């Protein structure tokens, strides 16, 4: 039996990764994390195929042209993020549920493809001030 798709969306800094990791660690739900693809360079400690599938901008655009993504976005000029169909299909074909960490627009695309097999959750930040504090304390991106 094929698994379900669980989509978690929120602005950066709202705790998506913390929530997803806690659910994965508890193990109450048979689910695997869908690894996204990106055209950005790896940050220190990130590993291809573990944190992201790191692609060149040209490779990413080729995958777009071939229709390999269920969702993708050019977040900044030349910096793409997306979810490969093959990643979702690999996990659900194995009978596991798949969890996605994607934006709302991407979630809508996934829902349009997979319909009721996809459950979408949105996490709200505690406040704009707290969200700003979290993002600034990361010190991983320019203001």
pLDDT tens-digit profile of 3-48? 899 999 987 777 788 889 998 999 898 999 999 999 999 999 999 9
How many domains does the chain contain in total?
A: 1
Question: Is 122 part of a structural domain of the chain?
Answer: yes
**Alpha carbons 65 and 80: distance in angstroms, whole number:** 13
Question: Is 53 part of a structural domain of the chain?
Answer: yes
Nearest CA to 97 out of 113, 74, 73, 114 is that of: 114
Question: Is 88 part of a structural domain of the chain?
Answer: yes
Nearest CA to 37 out of 101, 86, 84, 99 is that of: 84
What was the pLDDT predicted at 133?
A: 83
pLDDT tens-digit profile of 88-109? 999 998 999 999 998 889 999 9
CATH number of the domain residue 109 falls in: 3.40.50.300
Show the tokens assigned to 124. 């709200």
Structural domain range at position 27: 5-138
pLDDT tens-digit profile of 38-93? 999 999 999 999 999 999 999 999 999 999 999 999 988 989 999 999 999 999 98
CB atoms within 10 A of CB 1: 5
Q: Are 19 and 131 in contact (CB under 8 A)?
A: no
Question: Is 143 part of a structural domain of the chain?
Answer: no
């Amino acid at each position: 039996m094929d698994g379900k798709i669980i989509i978690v969306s929120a602005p950066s800094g709202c705790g998506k990764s913390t929530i997803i990791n806690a659910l994965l660690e508890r193990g109450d739900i048979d689910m695997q994390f869908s690894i996204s693809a990106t055209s950005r360079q790896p940050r220190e400690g990130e590993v291809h195929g573990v944190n992201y599938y790191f692609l060149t901008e040209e490779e990413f655009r080729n995958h777009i042209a071939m229709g390999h993504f269920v969702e993708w976005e050019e977040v900044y000029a030349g910096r793409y993020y997306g979810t490969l169909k093959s990643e979702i299909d690999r996990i659900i074909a194995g009978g596991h549920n798949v969890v996605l960490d994607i934006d709302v627009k991407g979630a809508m695309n996934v829902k349009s493809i997979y319909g009721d097999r996809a459950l979408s959750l949105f996490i709200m930040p505690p406040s704009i001030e707290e969200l700003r504090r979290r993002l600034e304390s990361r010190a991983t991106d320019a203001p």
